[in-house]
Amino acid sequence: MFEPKIRIPKDLYRRLTECAEAAGYASMDEFIRHVLEKEIERIVCTEADQEEIKRRLQGLGYLD
């Protein structure tokens, strides 16, 4: 299976390794996956989130 690779500066890699160890992750890869997944969740609105936003805007009179 193809595994994508990314380049990161050595200093950032060192910091990631330290954080992963301090937080008790089994590997730095596991830590990075977790951080990326959490950031994606924070950024991306789900369909339910979008419907709630639409409902609130309608309630405020911004949408018909």
State the total domains in the chain. Answer: 1
Query: Is pTM, for the whole model, over 0.75?
Result: no
Q: What is the four-CA torsion angle of 49, 51, 55, 57, rounded to 10 degrees?
A: 70
Does residue 51 lie within any of the structural domains?
Answer: yes
Does residue 28 lie within any of the structural domains?
Answer: yes
For residue 37, the enclosing domain spans 10-59
Render pLDDT for 13-61 as a digit per residue (tens, 0 to 9).
Answer: 999 999 999 999 999 889 999 999 998 888 887 888 888 889 999 999 9
Does residue 2 lie within any of the structural domains?
Answer: no
Give the residue with greater pLDDT, 1 vs 28: 28
35, 44 Cβ separation under 8 angstroms = no
